[in-house]
Amino acid sequence: MNKTGLFFGSFNPVHNGHMIIANYILEYTDLEQIFFVVSPQNPFKKRANLLEDYHRLALVEEAVGDSTKYYACDIEFKMPKPSYTIDTLTYLKERYPKKEFSLIMGSDNLKSFHKWKNSNQIIENHKLYVYPRPGFDDSKFKEVGNITLVNAPLMEISSTFIRNAVKEKKNIKFFMPERAWKYLREMHFYEK
């Protein structure tokens, strides 16, 4: 079984914080591959300022390049919206029967995990790799059952920061993977 982590997100846009966390988790856990699952719409977030799905996917494709360890996944584009993790997991297991899927999430998501559709079923059948997020006290979370706390670097960078910086005409070249940054500039995303 190939152990594959699912890193869900809107990736609006993908940035070096995402890549650093993914790289850390791939190197310091038993995962062998990471799918960046580009979500069309998170049921807990508003759609404002969200680039079109295919543009966010293209940014992730540029970010991962030709790596065999990272994959830009558009599985949720073909599913009913809003997408729910439990449904995505079911679909992925059918499509990739030789992969064992785990979830990668920030501690901010773990705090509200009980609100997710069929959260008990998810945690019973899948490992959760939880990385620290700014402003969240991770000490109250315990490594129990299928929850593994990953001591990844704390990333203060966010997609909101990137969008605002672009709007303010700031140079964000070193905050994003180079190919993704070039694509963002060529397409003039977030400039208005």
Domain with residue 82: its CATH number is: 3.40.50.620
Does the reported pTM lie above 0.95?
A: no
User: Residue 146 pairs with which residues in a beta bridge?
Assistant: none
Q: Which of 105, 155, 96, 97 is nearest to 128 (CA)?
A: 105
**Number of folded domains that form the chain:** 1
Q: Regarding beta strands 70-73 and 33-38, do their DSSP bridges make them parallel or antiparallel, or are they unpaired?
A: parallel
DSSP 105: E
Is residue 191 a part of any domain in this protein?
Answer: no
What is the tens place of the pLDDT at every residue in 71-115?
Answer: 999 999 999 888 899 999 999 999 999 999 999 999 888 888 989
What is the tens place of the pLDDT at every residue in 21-74?
Answer: 999 999 999 999 999 999 986 656 666 678 999 999 999 999 999 999 999 999
Is residue 32 a part of any domain in this protein?
Answer: yes
